[in-house]
Each structure stands twice: as structure tokens, then as C-alpha cells.
Chains A and B, each alone.
Chain A
Amino acid sequence: MSVIKNNIYKFLSSLSLTIFLLCFIAFGSIFGTVIKQKADVEEYLSIYSDTTYTIIKYLGLDDVYHSPWFIAAIVLFAINLALCTYGRFARLIKTEGKVALPDESELSDMSMVFHVGSKERENAIASIKKGYQTIYEGEEGVVLQKGVISRYGVYMIHGSILIILMGSLIGMLFGYKGFMTLRKGETKDQLILRGTPPKEVPLGFSLKCKDFQVSFYPGGAPKDYVSKVEVLDNGRVVMERDIRVNSPLSYKGINVYQASYGASTSFLFTIAGERVTLSERETYEKDGLVMMIARFESSIHNFGPGVLVAYLDQGEPKVVWFLKDVERLKEQKIQGVNIKLEDIKENFYTGLEIAKDPGVWVVWTGFALILFGLYANFFIYYRRIYIRNIPDGLIVAGIAFKNREGFKEEFEKLKRKVSGNGS
């Protein structure tokens, strides 16, 4: 039984599994960039055949990054990484306590080695020790080391990857991402979560758009869009600020980003002497008159903007164009009711992205740690120097596991310094 357990542990902590899983995750990720993600059925069927689509759907390739097999691979990877790192770390700690000074023949076999005469012994030890940490000192000699943190770099990197994965899990479980559109003056306390069908959820506070402005460069490209937003909590204004691209608003752990903007058109009619504002696709119904704004065109031939109005004439649908700039077509009768198109207005609305991610600080911590880890692992080098007393002086040997050429140079310098111009 324990053999099986042991084998499972070995397999789960093996580097081969790590490499296999990394390849698997990489391939899966690539699928997600080649096949369109989270699109509609119609869209897939317009690109792929029925059978291909069935396969895509069955394997979850239409939403790779949330499919069970992809998440399972990442979880397995996390387990593998944790076990593998733990195993190596335990071994390091074990060996860290035991520092042994190799004997003379072993030292003289090392690639970096030199001898010091007995006259210079004291001076030599003092000058070699400079910049090094003494980890052993005894009758027979001294062991020195430098850059010990470099040996922990790999654990920092691995640990930080686990922290980042944990942060993203927290985000997946307790966070959300949605959006909200606000017209100038509008207040909303609900956001919309994307999906089929989209879902409205309460935000916990309200946002009021006091102003929204888009500025353009002379060439017509957008320069900046700014929403002046008020945060209302329990009816009280608690915050007021401008939300811009690259400068989100943050309140109660929820971030509000300037994502997009758009224009909606509204149409001002006078219907039987009454002023009515309608937007596209909006239906007006009163006293048996049923009409709907079917379509808006900003320019019809050379006649200027026009609105296509659909209405019911004794149960049958009919349409009529209202043209704003043509006197004759501006005012028409539908079922005996006088209807006049007074104005067409373009209203900008702001598109706000709303996200809550309690795991983000965990991810940031992981990022910070990985930076330290990378620095320790790749830019600090662990070196060890052995100094052993021998009858006619000292034998000095050095070892490095990384950047050997660099250490060789340093060691040569040390040799010249210690032995003066001689030997």
C-alpha cells in the first residue's frame, strides 16, 4: 500500500509531470486564441460544420479557459508545483545545516584552487573573508559563502506562482465583471453581468453620471473620454470624481473603469399637441394609436436625417418616413392624428466596466515575490570558498553552481591579491 502511495507521490511531484502539464496548458491556451471564444451558436455554425461544432462544444473549446479540463490541468499543476517545491526545499534545509570541509585531495581536484604559503597565512585568510560570510570555522580550516539568497530564489518563484494562482482562484470565486451604461444625469444601482442571458445584479451603491465628455484629436481619433461620476451610498453622496481611461474609480472594493462610450439618438415628436421623446425601437401607444420608431438614418439621399415610423393601420403594419429637414415630410397624419418630428438629438452615454476582484491583492503579492525570486535566482550567484590548513600553508578552493565564468574571474583576482606577485 505504501509503495503505491509512494509512487503516486513520486509521480505527482515529478518534473516530467510539470513539463507535460505546462505543455498541455500551453496547447489549450492556443486553442482559445484560434477558436473564437464565447460566441453565439450561429456564429460558430457560420464558420464550422455541424460535426466540428459538436466536437468544439463537447470539448468546451468555445470557452477553453473555463472548461473543466483546463481548470483541472491548472489545479493539478498547482499540486505538482507545491509538492515538487516542498520536496526540494526540505532537502535544501537538511543539507544547509551540515557544512563539511572536504579533505585536501578533494580540494586540489577542484577546478578553481590555489595554494598560499605559511608566511602569508593570516593575511590571506583575512582578505579572502572580505565580502564573504563565514559558515564554518575550525581547527582544520574555514568555509565561506556568498549570495546564499540565490539558493532560495527558485522557491520564491515557485511560491509566488502558487500565490498568483490562489489569487486568481479567489477572484474567480468571489469576484465578478460586468458593465453599466449611463446617460448624462442618469443614476443606476445595478450592473449587468455578461452571459447568456445577461443578468442584472445590485451594485451595493449607486452611480450618477453628472457629465460625460469626449474630446477628439484634429484627425478625428478620440483623445480622451471622461465621466464625471458621483457615488451615492444610502442616498448620500460619498465621492465625486472623474473616471478616465487608465484612471478608474475604486469604492468598497469595486472598481469602475471608463471602457467605452456610445451615442443613442432620441426623437422629439409632437403627437396631438403633446411633446413626446422616443428612442429607437420604442413603442408609443395612446388612444388606439400604436407606433414605433423602426429605424433611424442620419442621411437619406440628400434630404438629411429621417426616421422610419411603423404603425398599425386596422391591424396591418405600415411604415412612413419622417424627414426632419423636409417641410412636407416633417409633419404627417397617422390615423387622423397630427404628428410632427420636432428634433433629433444625439445623446452620448458612457460605458463603464465594473469589476470586483478580492483576489487582486494576493496576485500583486505574488508579482512582488516573483520579482525578488527572479532577481535572487538569476542575478545573485551562490559561491563557496573552502580554506584548509595544510602543513606548508593553505589550500583555497572555490565552487559556483551558476555563472562559473564570472566566479572564475573573481577567483583569479583573489588569487593574485592573496599571493601578491609571487607563486
Chain B
Amino acid sequence: MNIYFFYISLFFYLLSTACYLLFLTMNRNIIEKFGHYSLFSGFCIHFLATLVRYFNAGYTPITNIYESLSFFSLCIAGFFLYLKRIYRIEIIGCIILPILSVLLIWASTFPTEIRPLPPVLKSYWLPIHTIFSFVGNAIFFISFFISLLYLVVERGIKKKKFPSIATRFPSLETLDLINYRCMSYGFPFLTVGIITGSIWASVAWGSYWSWDPKETWSLVTWIVYAILIHNRLAIGWRGRKTAYMMIIGFFFILITFLGVNFFAGGLHSYI
């Protein structure tokens, strides 16, 4: 049942992707509007799919790769919709939506059936820890693309060779503001994700910190973003430097989120 909702939401995301790609070539507001509502519908149905799966399975469905990627995509869609309300960044939809669709298609290649929960995951900490961590990751995921775009737009301005599309991208100032917002939301979420994980570990594994690969890499990621924040707030790095740091930070997120599970194993490997 939940899987049908999942596919319906995927259909809407794909529709939205098509709209945004069309919007990139044909600058018509009506296309963007259609893309926006498709994205919004996709998000709502995706949320419903997650909710249905929660009731079907009896646990928060963030316990294996399929569920994780699906929930991660949901967070990305949600945070992008949130940012869209504040800033005029419609055009960024043509970057976020294709990636969102690819993520969801990739998710659907993993086993999607509901499996019984291993005893260690039976805890109230499961939803708390995973939701904070995933929202944090999703925020940094978006800031990664914002940063890439920043570098592209900046290079375009410097070389004065400006493809006509680039004029429609948000200004460098807006991109930097978004990056700043991502930083000041993402970091607290990341921290709470680590803290709740630590408390859970103390209940389940007998120690709040055991230098498990997942814990260690999350700490390293936290350090990277802490350095970024100090560079910005205390030293005053802005614009390009923040963008570079955000890109570096995201690679650490990627290793912590997926790399550790795929390659390193350890206590935190639930695939």
C-alpha cells in the first residue's frame, strides 16, 4: 500500500522535474507554477506514503537503505519548499528536482518490503535521532548545490561570459544568504542528531560514545561545519570561501551518511 503512494509521489516529482527543465528553456511563469504544485503534491503524497508505512510497519520507517533514501528525499523536498517560500529561487528547482528524482529511483532499486525490526532499533530514540539527523543532512545537501551554483555564477560574472540562463539565477548575495541560513539551521540539527544518537547508544550499546565509525565520522563532520561557522562568524569568510567549505562539508556528510554503512560496517550498519 505505502509503496503505491511512493510511486505516485515519484510520478509527481518526475512531472515537476519535467516542468522545471522546461522552465529552464522556456521562461514562462505558468510552467514554474505547474512545477511547484507538482512538487508540492509529490511532497504531500510522499509524506502520506511515509505515514502509511509507519502504521503498516509499526515503526518509524527509517531503518534500511530504501527507507533512508526515501525519507532523505522527503526532507530535501520539504526544506526546498520552505526555502522557496522565503527566497525567489524557483530556478534552483531545475537542479534539486532531477536529483530528487534520481535519489528516489535509486531508493526503489533496494528491497522495499517491510522487514521485522532488529531488537536494537526498537526504541523511542529511533524517530528522534533519525529525524534530526536526516533533516540536518538534507539542509546541508541543499546548501551543497547552492554552493556549487554560487561558484558557477561567480565564475560567469568574472569571465563576463554569461550564458543567458545564468542571468536568471539568484544573485550571489541571495545564494550566500541561503548558505548562511542553511548553516545556521543545519548545524543545530546535526548536533542534536549526534546528541540523541549518543544518548540512544548509551541505552542500547552501553556507552554514549564508543568511537564506532558512524560516531567518529559524524564527529568529524561536526568539526568541519564548526570550523566553517567560525570562519564565517569570527573571521568573516563569506561568499566563495563559505561555498567551498559547504562543498567540503557535504563530502563528509556523504561519507557519514552512506559511506560508513556501505564500506566500514560497525555497530551502526543496518542495511
B: number of interface residues (CB 8 Å): 41
Write the chain A residue with the least CB distance to B117.
A223
Interface of B is mostly: helix
CB < 8 Å neighbour of B119 from A222, A355, A360, A379: A222
Q: What total of A-B pairs shows CB separation below 8 Å? A: 99
Chain B 164-199 per-residue mask, 1 if CB under 8 angstroms from chain A, else 0: 000000000000010000001101100110010011
Q: Does chain A have a CB within 8 A of B106?
A: no
* Number of A residues with CB within 8 Å of any CB on chain B: 46
User: Of B116, B119, B187, B192, which is within 8 A of A246 by CB?
Assistant: B119
Q: Which of A53-61, A104-112, A370-378, A390-398 contacts B (4 or more CB under 8 A)?
A: A370-378
User: Of residues A23, A246, A353, A379, which shows the largest number of chain B Cβ atoms within 10 Å of its Cβ?
Assistant: A246
Q: With an 8 A cutoff between CB atoms, is B163 at the interface?
A: no
**Of residues 19 to 46 in A, which have CB atoms within 8 Å of B's CB atoms?**
19, 22-23, 25-26, 29-30, 32-33, 37
Contact of A223 among B116, B223, B260 (CB under 8 A): B116
Complex interface: chain A residues within 8 A of B227 (CB): 19, 22-23
Within 8 Å of chain A (Cβ to Cβ): is B120? yes
Query: A367 — which chain B residues lie within 8 A by C-beta?
Result: 195, 198-199
A360 touches B206 (CB 8 A): no
Asked if A217 contacts B206 (CB within 8 A), the reply is: no
| B23-31, B53-61, B97-105, B207-215: which lies at the interface | B207-215
Q: Which residue of B115, B204, B207 contacts A355 across the interface (Cβ within 8 Å)?
A: B207
15 intermolecular pairs with C-beta atoms under 8 Å apart: A15-B235, A19-B230, A22-B226, A25-B223, A26-B219, A29-B219, A168-B209, A219-B115, A246-B119, A246-B120, A357-B208, A367-B195, A375-B188, A378-B187, A378-B188
A contact residues vs B (CB 8 Å cutoff): 15, 18-19, 22-23, 25-26, 29-30, 32-33, 37, 65, 168, 177, 217, 219, 221-225, 244-248, 255, 257, 259, 353-355, 357, 360, 363-364, 367, 370-371, 374-375, 378-379, 402, 405
Residues of B at the A interface (CB closer than 8 Å) are 115-116, 118-120, 122-123, 177, 184-185, 187-188, 191-192, 195, 198-199, 202-209, 211, 213, 216-217, 219-220, 223-224, 226-227, 230-231, 234-235, 260, 264
